[in-house]
A and B are shown apart, each in its own frame.
Chain A
Amino acid sequence: MKKIYDFIVIGAGPAGLMIAKELSAARQDVLLIDIKKEISKVHRSCCTMLINEPNTHGETVRFVDNDLYFEKTGITVKYGHPHVKLVKSSRMSTGGNKLTIVNRENGVALPYTKEIILRNLLEESLANGVDILTETAGIRAENIDGKVKVTIRDNHTRTQKEVWCRSCFAADGCNSQIVTGLDLFKTRKYFGSYRVASYFLDEVDYPNWDSWVTCVGKGHTPWGKGQIYMVPKYLADAKEGDKPILDVFCGTPCGMPAKMGLDWFLTEGPFKEWFHNAKIVHKAACMLNFYTCIMNPVEGNIVVVGDAAAFIETYCQSALMYGYLAAQAALKVLSTGKGYDDYTNFWRESFEYCRPGEIEKALQAFGLGQLQDEQLNYIFSLTNNEEYAGYVSENTAGYVMEKGIMSHIDQIRRERPEIATVIEKHWKTSADDIVSG
């Protein structure tokens, strides 16, 4: 007789591991499937910063005793590893001028190490008795007669087989194969694709260890498009007192591979002297397709959680939170027959990109793409000695930046009227300009 699991979780990232851990703690029979061999190794580019702005995705998260504490959900996720406190978030032009958001007290964002979170959750899941299949892709989930048939594929033999469960969680990330196979995918609007390459660099001669830096302007990459981000963080084997390393990202919307942009930035870019002695200690990459959120993440007994249901990403912290809430909803369904409606409603209300117009607004805030580098240097020279209160946040940083630039608009109109015209038009830049190609 074929075995029927209570739950199958596809994808052992932060959302999937959180679900597996919570359901197994409630003595459910859980199978966790992941394509990687070593679940806690991270090969995909990820900033992994605790976005500590209150009410991010309906939740306020902070570090308490070196663990992640979720105020509203009331949960603690074990961490126990150093994290970085960034007090500044800067947009930087090719000439090195900046527009800087500052929060000295709490930090603008707190980068941490994703591997540690995954390792801890994996340990807890294993201790709870979760069955784990690694090097296995979950490729399809189907609702059949009140159960779910999950088709999986072995990475080595490429043979497919079926496993059955009462309910299934698709937590297999932004390019979810499970979501692709479900009808609900057809309701999503496609915005374009984005490639990211990132290197963890040691021995960087870097002046901004207290900052999240976004490079703005055409001269940072060889093709004039794409974005460079830099964030200090700790490696998984770091100890208290160690220096952080620098994680440098290059994201590109156009046909050129992100790696080329990143290599060029480090060897020929405007800040190449910072990287003369740099050593690459780890490489990562990712490929993102931008789609609108799944508004109904529950289909029959299949629940889509985390990045798999989101526009771009839910952040690591919210993947943990949505994973926890989805697991609690599933347990409630077992006892009362209901529970997923609350989860769906919370998802729609809390995840900002579910709201009409939010995606378009965020894409506008991505960059001052209409301006030439010399014009950006001029604008940021006006803001160079100023500090604006705020956080690193896709949903609010754009407004803070706009406010900072607009506070100088009279001077810009006077000195450089052609720039003022472009700026006033900029906030209406179309989403297509950001992710085309």
Chain B
Amino acid sequence: MIRIDRQKCVGCGGCVDLCPRAAIGLYEDFALINSALCLECKTCVKVCPMKAPQEI
């Protein structure tokens, strides 16, 4: 399972744009993954400049 560390995420939206399943939404200052839609393809992990998405 992948979740976004809110301490690290700055809400730039790069993962939101590039998630192939549109599983990520952008809230106030951070991104949030909908685990029901997530395929765990790790695109967000690869693209994030802040290392915010983490596998748990």
Task: Annotate B37-49 by CB proximity to A: 1 below 8 A, 0 otherwise.
Answer: 1000000001111
Cβ A158 vs Cβ B12 within 8 A: no
Say how far A13's CB is from chain B's closest CB, in angstroms: 11
Given A158-B25, A285-B10, A35-B16 contact (CB < 8 Å):
yes
Whether the Cβ atoms of B8 and A259 lie closer than 8 Å is yes
Contact across chains for A257 and B50 when beta carbons are under 8 A apart: yes
Beyond A35-B16, A43-B13, A137-B16, is A285–B29 a contact (Cβ under 8 Å)? no
Q: A175-B18, A286-B12, A287-B14 are in contact. Are A37 and B47 (CB under 8 A)?
A: no
- Produce 1/0 per residue, B18-37, CB < 8 A to A: 10001001111100001001
Q: Is A284 an interface residue (CB 8 A)?
A: yes
**When the two chains form the complex, which single residue of A158, A195, A289 contacts B34, counting CB atoms closer than 8 Å?**
A158
- Interface hits, A116-167 → B, CB 8 Å: 135, 137, 139, 153, 155-156, 158
Size class of the A contact interface (CB-based, 8 Å)? 20 to 34
Q: Which of A6-37 contact B (CB under 8 A)?
A: 35-37
| Count of B interface residues, CB-CB < 8 Å | 24
Q: Which residues of B contact A35 (CB under 8 A)?
A: 13, 16, 26
Q: Is A294 an interface residue (CB 8 A)?
A: no
| Closest-CB distance, B1 to chain A (whole angstroms) | 18
CB contact between B10 and one of A135, A173, A284 (< 8 Å): that residue: A284
List of A residues within 8 angstroms of B17 by Cβ = 173, 175-177, 287
Instruction: Assess A193 versus B16: contact at CB under 8 Å? Given A155-B25, A155-B26, A156-B25.
Output: no
Tell me which residues across on chain A come within 8 A of B22, comparing CB atoms.
137, 139, 153, 158
Is A333 an interface residue when CB atoms closer than 8 A count as contact? no
**Most-contacted residue by chain B among A44, A173, A257 (CB, 10 A):** A257
Report the separation of the CA atoms of residues A408 and B48 in the bound assembly, to the nearest whole angstrom: 41
How far apart sit A371 and B14, CA to CA, in the bound complex (Å)? 32
The reply to whether B47 and A284 form a contact with Cβ atoms under 8 Å apart is: no
Residue ranges of A at the interface with B (Cβ–Cβ < 8 Å)? 35-37, 43-45, 135, 137, 139, 153, 155-156, 158, 173, 175-177, 193, 195-197, 252, 255, 257-260, 283-287, 289
A255-B46, A287-B12, A287-B17 known; 7 new pairs, CB 8 Å cut-off, are A45-B12, A137-B26, A193-B47, A195-B14, A197-B50, A258-B50, A259-B49
Q: Identify 27 residue pairs between A and B in the complex whose beta-carbon atoms are under 8 Å apart, listed by A's number.
A: A36-B26, A37-B28, A43-B12, A45-B49, A135-B26, A155-B27, A156-B25, A158-B22, A173-B17, A175-B17, A195-B49, A255-B46, A257-B48, A257-B49, A257-B50, A257-B51, A260-B51, A283-B50, A284-B10, A284-B12, A286-B12, A286-B14, A287-B12, A287-B15, A287-B17, A287-B47, A287-B49
- Chain B residues at the A interface, C-beta cutoff of 8 Å: 8, 10-18, 22, 25-29, 34, 37, 46-51
